Amino acid sequence: MGSHRGVESADQVPGKGAHQPQSGSDCGGERDWQVLSAQDFYTGVADYMRRVDPSWDEENWRAQVADELRGLRAVMGEANGRSVLDCSCGSGGQAIPLAKLGWQVKAADIIAAYLDIARRRAKQEDVSIVFRRCDMRHLDRYFQASFDWVVSCMALDNITADEQIQQAVKGMFGALRPGGRCYIRLRDFDHIMDVKPRYDFKEERAVPQGRVIRLEDWAYESDTHVLNIYVFLREDERKTDWPWVTDVFSYRRRALRKAELEQFLRGAGFQEVEFLPQPSPWHPHEVVASKAT
């Protein structure tokens, strides 16, 4: 990654106080890093991982495919040639496993670079998917009532204005044929807003010339909006002193509770809304909403 927009990068030892994202992340206090757009956040994190360790993203991808094959089949059943629109496909996390399971897949995302990665991966996996760059707030412009399922994972809370969330959910409803179903997966903000976690340890990874410790932090702006902050602490063995480099990426999310999501779904016209059993509140929650026949 040549440059990473809006990202602080500083040489320091964690805990020695040269750069402390946590102190900066308190709402109302001084912040020494920038809140990125969701688009710049995803691009920045992906670029960082690719720069620090090219195999990192690929390993995550392999693990995700294995999980999704199991999980999506459990929720959506056998494909039997049915059609699905993934309206926030990213680099293909659900779209490609669905195609491998035999679904007729169309996949959309707002970020062109993600669609390029998804196209490359689909080719590698030898599956056929129709990709389209599209903002899920404007699905009605591209997709009419024809799909058996619409899927959106880990994305709806990237839309921070309620009327736009409602617009996106209406677009999902509109893309479904009568009797079609919508599957949405999101972080559990009922739990997050209840517990208000700070500095969750996510992973420690050996990378070329050192290691990276990845933390996730949250800053609570209001009852409805939070900043999600990824902190990467990298130890670079090539450096003799102050071998630590901190990179911070942050973006704003709508702290969308389940009851609010249900309201948006019913407001769009969905007749039945079912929240699936969750293994733990730290896991994303899943909801299936059905359009009347």
Site residues, ligand SAM (CB under 6 A): 38, 42, 88-90, 93-94, 109-111, 114, 135-137, 153-155, 158-159
User: Residue 158 is encoded by which pair of tokens?
Assistant: 């990237």
What would the DSSP string read from start to end of 82-127?
Answer: -EEEETT-TTTTTHHHHHHTT-EEEEEES-HHHHHHHHHHHHHTT-
- Give the nearer residue to ligand SAM in terms of CB position, either 19 or 181: 181
Torsions phi, psi of 216, nearest 5? -120, 130
Q: Report the distance separating Cα 149 and Cα 183, nearest Å.
A: 7
Q: Supply the minimum distance, in Å, between the C-beta of residue 237 and ligand SAM.
A: 31
Q: How far is the CB of 243 from ligand SAM (least distance, A)?
A: 31
Paired with 204 in beta bridges are 213
Which amino acid, 189? F
CB of 94 to ligand SAM, least distance (A): 6
**Other C-beta atoms within 10 Å of 268: how many?**
20
Output the CA torsion 50→51→54→59 (10° steps). Answer: -50
Nearer Cβ to ligand SAM (90/180): 90
CB 245 within 8 A of CB 11: yes
Nearer to ligand SAM, 186 or 231 (CB): 186
Q: Give the nearest distance from C-beta 114 to ligand SAM in angstroms.
A: 5
Smallest gap from Cβ 228 to ligand SAM, in A, equals: 10
Nearer residue to ligand SAM within complex by CB, 25 or 158: 158
* Residue nearer to ligand SAM on the CB measure, 25 or 167: 167
